[in-house]
Amino acid sequence: MHNFARLRDFLEGFGALLDEAPPEPAIHARGGRLLGELIAVDDWLPAAYAQPDPDRYQQYLLHADSRQRFSLVSFVWGPGQQTPIHDHTVWGLIGVLRGAELSQPYIRDAEGCLHEDGPVHRLEAGTVEAVSPSIGDIHRVRNAFDDQVSISVHLYGANIGGVKRSTYDPDGRPKTFISGYSNDTLPNIWNISRE
Ligand code: FE
């Protein structure tokens, strides 16, 4: 039996937090604590939102705020799967529910080239990491395991599946990217980019 009350209470609590219109550092701090509580217990994620795909990592929309103030997505990493280098353009919080993931931050130099910004972060189950244009928004993420699935739960300050953002090649050249979502079992009205 899935403990949907845990997910509902998180969404209600996070919506109430945003109603206060806090500055981004407070969203990261207080929202990060709420997300930490959500991922502390692995009893609520339905199996349909935990399915890996052999070809690529999956991004299942769990909830989109009706005013697109935030969205909650389960990322399901098959063994060894990884993202391209990418940005978000909005604040984000990443909490690992199962397994572990590796995040490599990148920074842009004066010529616009991207460089690795410090070491890879290893995020174990139960930990939360923040991204945003103000604190570092470009990274590459991969499953820390080559022999098991990992799952992380991501919270973003927009309907992330419809946000026009970028992936980057190693030289830092951007390519427009709208991620959409992997859901195929529910009507999904959130795949549309806002012009
Ligand atoms: Fe990311």
C-alpha 144: how far from its chain's center? 16
**Which pLDDT value is given to residue 189?**
59
Alpha-carbon distance of 4 to 57, in angstroms, equals 24
Alpha-carbon distance of 153 to 97, in angstroms, equals 7
What spacing in Å lies between the alpha carbon of 5 and ligand 1's midpoint? 27
What spacing in Å lies between the alpha carbon of 181 and ligand 1's midpoint? 14
Tokens 């946000």 sit on residue: 163
What spacing in Å lies between the alpha carbon of 1 and ligand 1's midpoint? 30
**Which pLDDT value is given to residue 144?**
98
**Which helix (DSSP H) or strand (DSSP E) does residue 9 occupy?**
helix 4-19
Q: Go through the chain and tell me how many residues it has.
A: 195
Tokens 């993202």 sit on residue: 83
Q: Which domains does the chain show, CATH number per domain?
A: 4-183 (2.60.120.10)
**Which pLDDT value is given to residue 120?**
97
What spacing in Å lies between the alpha carbon of 12 and ligand 1's midpoint? 24
**Which pLDDT value is given to residue 99?**
98
- Looking at the DSSP bridge assignments, the partners of residue 26 are none
Q: Return the amino acid letter for 186.
A: L
pLDDT tens column, 146-159: 999 999 999 999 99
**pTM for the complete prediction?**
0.93
Alpha-carbon distance of 80 to 177, in angstroms, equals 22
Instruction: Tell me: pLDDT of 190 over 60.
Output: no
Instruction: Tell me: pLDDT of 105 over 80.
Output: yes
What spacing in Å lies between the alpha carbon of 185 and ligand 1's midpoint? 24
What spacing in Å lies between the alpha carbon of 17 and ligand 1's midpoint? 23
What spacing in Å lies between the alpha carbon of 104 and ligand 1's midpoint? 10
What spacing in Å lies between the alpha carbon of 156 and ligand 1's midpoint? 10
Tokens 């969203």 sit on residue: 27
112 or 73, higher pLDDT: 73
**Which pLDDT value is given to residue 4?**
87
pLDDT tens column, 107-147: 988 888 899 999 999 999 999 999 999 999 999 999 999 99
What spacing in Å lies between the alpha carbon of 110 and ligand 1's midpoint? 23
Per DSSP (E only), the strands in 43-99 are 58-64, 71-77, 85-86, 92-98
The mean pLDDT of 28-53, rounded to a whole number, is 97
Task: Look at phi and psi of residue 36 and say left if phi exceeds 0, alpha if psi is from -120 to 50, else beta.
Answer: alpha
122 token code pair: 């290893």
Where residue 170 falls among pLDDT bands split at 50, 70, 90? confident
DSSP state of 50: S
